[in-house]
Amino acid sequence: MRSGLFLAALMCLQACPALLAAKDLGQGFTDHGVATPSSCHRGAAATVDGQGQPFFLAWLMDHRGSYALLSIDVDAGQAKVHPVSFPLGDSPFASILSSRGKFYSHFGSHFVEFDPAQRAFTVCRKTVPQMAMSMTEDQQGVIWSATYPQSGLASFDPQTGEVTDYGHLYKQNWAQYPRSVAADDAGWVYLGVGSTACQIIAFDSKSRKAVPLVPERERGHGSGLVFAGADGKVYGQPNSSRSDNWLVLHQGQATSVGPRPKFTERRLIAGSQGLFHAVFPDGRRVRNLDLLEGNLVVEDPQTKSQKTIPFDCQSEGAHVMGVATAPNDTICGGSAFPMRFFSYDPRRDEWVRHSAFGQWNTVGRQGDHFFVGAYSGGHLLEWDPAAPWVDTVEGRQDCNPRMLTKCSPTIIRPAKLLAHPDGRTIVVGGTPAYGMTGGGLLFWDRSSGDRVLRTHEQILPQHSTMSLVALPGGKLLGGTTTSPGTGGERKAQQAELYLLDEATKQVEWHEPVFPGVQGYTDLCLGPDKLVWGFADRTNFFVFDPASRKVVHQQSVAAEFGGTVSHQGPRVFVRGPNQEVYALFTRSIARIEPEKWSIKLLAKSPIPLGAGGDYLDGRIWFASGSHLCSYRLP
C-alpha cells in the first residue's frame, strides 16, 4: 500500500544566526534577515543502512527548491546533509523507498537514487522535463517515474544500472499531473492523469507504445487514478470523482467493472511530497521530526522508551509571498514552504513568527485589522494585531486570525486582495481550482458578515481577476489574466480591463485594450482620478475610466525590466504624501503624475521578488526568503 503519513509536528529547519541579522547593502538598501528561517521536508522514509541499523532520510526544501537529502543514523546519533549535484529550483513531488532499500526521486529533470548502504547518491541522470508526480516499482524491481508537465515516463533498472527516458507520452495543451502510476505483471505501465481532463494512459514497455484508454467523449474535469494489485493486475478509475467507473487493467486492456472491486494493493512505500514513512524494519518508529529545533524522536513500541537524536543543519529560509504594513506598524506577511506567518517591528528590530493557515498569497490592511487571501482554499482571513494570536482552525470563531470564508473551487489561488477605501468591503480575485479555467470575485462585507461570490461567467468568462482598484462613484476597475488554474487550459486569447458596478456586481464594460496582453499585473488610482497600471509587467499605461480610453502608454522593458511578480505582486506602493512608487525586479522608481513618467530612484543590489508597502520612510519588499527595505531619499 502507499504510505502517505503526514507529520503533525513542525517541519522547519532553523537558519543560522547570520541570516537573521540586518545588513546594510548600500545605496539605501537594507537586508533585515530571513523572514521565515525554515525549510520543510518533501518526502521522508525510515529504512536501514548497510549494516541493517535504523537510518532515516528526508528531502529538504527552502526558497531555492530542494537542495539536499538529510540522513540520520539513529543508533550512532549522527546526521549528515547530502547536497544535490544538479541546478536548484525544483523539488520532489514524489518519492519511493524500493524493496532493495534505496530511496528514489525525480525532480529538476534529474532521476536520482540514494543508497543508505553507501550513504551517498549513486545515480543521477538527466531526463526530459521535469519532475515526478508519482513513482512505483514493478514486479522485477524496476523503478518507474511519471512526470509533469506532459506525462513523461522514465525507468531505472537496478540490475543493469540503466536509466531509460521514454520522453513525453501524451501531449495536451495544458500541464498534466500524472498523480498515480502502476505496473501490471505483463510489462505494461499505467498513468493516472489530470486535472483539466481525466485520462489513464497504458504504456507497453516492450514496444514503447502509449495508448490513452479513456475516450475523448468520456473525459471530464478531474484525475484518473491507478492502483497496483497484489494479483498482478492494475485497478483504475478514469475519473476519481465518480464511484461507478472502475476498470481492471491488464496487458494494456481495460475491463469495466462498475463499482470498486475487491482487491489488495501491492505494498509499496511510495507517495507524494507528503510521504512520511515512519516505521523502521525493526519496529521502532519516528514519533517526531522537528527540523526547527533540530531533533528526531524515535520510539521503541515494545519498551515504550524514546530516543532523541539532535542534529545541526542550516537553511536559507522559506520563500516570502509578499508583505504589507499592519495596523500595529509592523511589516507582516507569509511564507511557503512551510506555511508561516511573520511580523517584523523595525523600531524594535524584533520578529514574531507563528504557524500560518494556508499560503498567504496576498495581504492588506483595512483600518485596525489585517486581511489575507490564502491558498489553497481561496480563504479570506482576518487578523486583529491588538489581540492575542490563536492559531486558525476552520469553523472556529475564537481564532485570531479568523477564517471568514472560503471560495474553492471558484478561487483557490488569490492574486489580489483589495481593502476597499470604504472601510467596510474586502474584494478578492484569483485563479480557480486545479484543472479549471476562469476565476471569480469575492465581495465580503465586514459590517454584516455577508459575502457575494461571483463566478468567472458572471465577470468575464475564462478570465481571472489579477488586479483591482476602487474608483469614485461606486465602481471597480479590474484587470484580468488569461492564466488558468494550475494544470488548467488557457482559453482566453488576451487579457482585458473591465468596469464593474459595486452595487449590482455587474460588469458594465470590458475591452482588451492592449492586443495580445496576457495579464494586467497591477493597478493604482492616481491623484488625477486616472488609473495607472502595468500590463505583462513591462507596459506602463494610464487609463481614463470616464472615457474608457488609454491616454498614455510606454514600454519600460529596456530601462527598468519587468515589475516584481508573484502570486500577489503589490507592484505599486503609496507613500505618506500619496506619492506612488513602483517596484521592479532590479530597481525602485517613482511615478511622476505631471508627465506620467517613471523616475528611477535606485538600482537594487539584490533582486526584488514580491512587494511591497511603506513604513517609517522606507519601502519594504521581499527578496527570496529575505525581508528587505529601501530608505527613501
The CATH number of whichever domain residue 574 belongs to comes to 2.130.10.10
586 located within any domain: yes
What pLDDT, on the 0 to 100 scale, is given for residue 314?
A: 82
Query: 48, exposed or middle or buried, with CB in 10 Å at 0-12, 13-18, 19+?
Result: middle
Q: Following DSSP, what letter does each residue of 434-457 receive, concatenated?
A: TT-----EEEEETTTTEEEEE-HH
Vertex 348: Cα angle to 402 and 322 (nearest 5)? 45
What pLDDT, on the 0 to 100 scale, is given for residue 291?
A: 81
What pLDDT, on the 0 to 100 scale, is given for residue 293?
A: 83
Sign of CA dihedral 106, 109, 115, 121: negative
In whole angstroms, give the CA distance from residue 414 to residue 427: 10
Sign of CA dihedral 334, 335, 340, 342: negative
538 located within any domain: yes
548 located within any domain: yes
Three cell numbers at 633? 531619499
What pLDDT, on the 0 to 100 scale, is given for residue 20?
A: 57
Residue 488: phi and psi, rounded to 5, are -95, 180
What pLDDT, on the 0 to 100 scale, is given for residue 2?
A: 38
593 located within any domain: yes
What's the structural domain count of the chain? Answer: 1
In whole angstroms, give the CA distance from residue 585 to residue 608: 5
Three cell numbers at 278? 515512519
Mean pLDDT, each 10-residue run in order, the chain (633 residues): 36 46 93 94 97 97 96 96 97 98 98 98 97 98 98 97 97 97 98 97 97 96 97 96 94 97 97 98 96 91 95 90 97 95 97 97 98 97 98 96 98 98 98 98 97 98 98 97 97 98 98 97 94 98 98 96 94 96 98 94 97 97 98 96
- Global pTM reads 0.93
In whole angstroms, give the CA distance from residue 528 to residue 31: 35
579 located within any domain: yes
What pLDDT, on the 0 to 100 scale, is given for residue 19?
A: 53
Which residues, including other chains, have CB under 8 Å from residue 501's CB and lie 6 or more apart? 474, 475, 508
In whole angstroms, give the CA distance from residue 277 to residue 345: 40
What pLDDT, on the 0 to 100 scale, is given for residue 527?
A: 87
210 located within any domain: no
561 located within any domain: yes
Which residues, including other chains, have CB under 8 Å from residue 465's CB and lie 6 or more apart? 415, 416, 429, 430, 439, 441, 459, 478, 479, 480, 481
Three cell numbers at 517? 496582453
Using only C-alpha atoms, what is the Rg of the chain? 26
Which residues, including other chains, have CB under 8 Å from residue 400's CB and lie 6 or more apart? 383, 384, 387, 388, 389, 390
For the chain, how far is it from start to end, CA to CA, in angstroms?
62
Task: Give the single-character DSSP code of 242.
Answer: -
> Which residue range(s) make up the domain with 585?
519-633
Peptide bond into 38 cis (omega under 30): no
What pLDDT, on the 0 to 100 scale, is given for residue 11?
A: 38
514 located within any domain: no
What pLDDT, on the 0 to 100 scale, is given for residue 13?
A: 43
